[in-house]
Structure 1
Amino acid sequence: MEVITYKCPNCGGDLTFDPASGKYKCEYCLSSFTQEEAEKANPKAAEALNGEDDAAGAQEASDAQKESSTEETKGETEQGEAVVYTCPNCGAEIVTDATTAATYCFYCHNPVVLSGRLSGEYMPDFVLPFKISKEQAIEKFLSFTRKKHFIPKDFFEKSQVQKMTGVYFPYWIYGGDFETDYIARGRKVRVWQTGDVEYTETSIYDVRREGEVRVDGLSRNALNKADRDLIECVQPYRLEEMQPFSMGYLSGFQAEKRDIEQQQIAPELKKELETMARGAMRNEANEYISLEQEKMNLSPKQENWRYVLFPVWTLTYPGKDGKVYYYAMNGQTGTINGDFPYERKRALLTSAVSALLVLIVMLIGGYFA
């Protein structure tokens, strides 16, 4: 498996994607580059993305570090559900999960992309790049959590919030054009009064509606190990900002490859599509007081599936109660979701002090009265 790092053409430092500027930035000489410039300076990344022969490219490399990196990469081994790869920067062996596609070396912090995880059938069609930087994410997160009461003080420590990590999670997006054939029994009720007598007339109609429905943007998380509820709750994303996939967007972030396929979630998404189409047809027949015995057929004229990486800032906090608290932030819009720790002793002490103050005020008031 090819291990890719993006290097600065000016100083050789690591390039990472900068959400604020949308460019690739070198933290050493502070140079910045467009996507095209970064890929031109790192041709091996472009070769991996295009599926070219990595082995041939490695043989042509004259740089000693590249040759060493290629030999070490060949030594990568699968260990059950984990994978060991060799960092091309410092030579350390790093263990990753079987679904990890981009990460960084825990020793030298060199960002790396494991291209084999995102090639061939596992290559994403699109990516939603991070729009919120780590500094912005921390600021938004602290601003949000400081409004909460009785959160442990160490929750706000710099060493804790600096653990926030940007992760690209895999998603399937489903949509297309569909023909609908809707059949139901509709009921209309007419009420009128003649003299002192009130009359009610109920009419039953055969209802049929045909039409076309266009749906796009039905999405599902494609990773089993993710906290699905947590990640789903930071949606929606602005899908119109999707970009054709490039591995450069992953540099400096973590990324996961999918382990859930289309056929596993297709029934769920198609059921959601049917519910939406049924609602649209009901709106077309809104002159009836009720619709019963509904039947609907959906015939796809065109279906499309897209494999996309969505940006999420994640943070964990090991609570004193033994529970690990997880938080997620939409890396594009800043929407936050999570379960916050609660310091029970502080809450009880505050309640006790408040009750004591009320009692003192009442006693003083009664004394002077």
Structure 2
Amino acid sequence: MFKENDECCAIQCEKCGGTMYSDAASTSFICSFCGNKEPWPNSENILDSEIKYRHKPVEVVNGLVKLGHVYFMEPLPEMLKNNTQSIEDKLGVFSALSTKVYEKSHTIKLPCPLCGADVTGESTQTIFTCEYCGHRLTQEELKAGGYNKDQLIGAGSRSYPSIALPFKLTKEQAFGRAQLLMKREPMSFKGAEKAIKEKFTAFYTPYTLADLRVKAQISTNKGDCEIYQEVLNWVYPQTYVFDENAVDMVAPWNFDEFAPFDPVFLEGDVHITTRSNLFPVQKYLDRMINEQLCNRLCENYGLQNVKIEKWARNLRKHSADIMLPIYYVDYTDNSAGERFVIVVNGQTGAASARFVNSKDKTRSIQLPASSKLPRFAETTMRTPPMIVRYVKPKFLHEVIPPEKGFKKSLFQMLKFW
């Protein structure tokens, strides 16, 4: 069912990549940027969700888009340097006890009380499943000392969200995706394959769900312009532990598949990270927005030396925090003076590797999801950065074709003369 007046559904335009919002008057989705229309599907294909989404369509006036929410731009703040601590070091800061427990993790074997077959798993697991008869053993049935709630990193009723996206990939399947990623640039991972396999770990980690809108004034090798981008159902972290940019690269996520989350009933050997107190959200947001926006501009327009001079950001939170399923590993190559992390989306199989060298320069490689997400699901939607130009009050802008959008300064024209 479609939402009531204060809620609307959104999909991505297949024509221009912009955002299409549901319009009750025309029973269709309408793109705010190119005017493309797409009829609603059968209503039974759109399900109500316990998550309250707060999508707000961009207002269109006589073909011009109203961008008052991101009109007043400011210089970029001082960016944080990339955090090059290993994940073991970060986890050790938050919970030394639980880190020691995981370090002593070992494989244990238990007899199934129903069929007598051996049930194996890691000592840190909460739930065990008999592969022969399918019976699940809870912590009460584990041998003494096999279950310890201290293993849940910082566990507590307010320490993590109450919903999560379930893992759909096993550890073996996820590592297979990581191997496909590494084959794209094999020399970058030479000598690290064994360590990567040994340290490859499943995590649940807390994120906040929101819609992000950015307008920026940029300078590039092709000239200057202003751009506008929307990212619907974007997620940003509530913890320091992971490389936030590498996790951002494995989107999109399908939020229609969320389920209740309780660590006590968690199956498999999955580590849990929880919300960090006094987490500097704004600094992490700025770093994520800056990197993904510059990368997108280079990809979409073939640009080099992209620099954001000024920007305005608008964040509209939805009524949900959510635990995301990821597989994660980091590795430091001291001989090359480079550190990298690998992330695999535990829901879709999308993968990324992000490299940071000793001079804080970054590069990345990506592997897309193994299959497309449903067209009409609530998923992460990232529009291409669109070149816009102010036309008239109030905050009305027009979308400019790329070939007409870049304006070179006198200095740039003399430089390339």
Higher helix share: 1
Task: Flag whether TM exceeds 0.5 (same fold).
Answer: no
TM-score, scaled to structure 2? 0.39
- The structure with the largest alpha-carbon Rg is 1
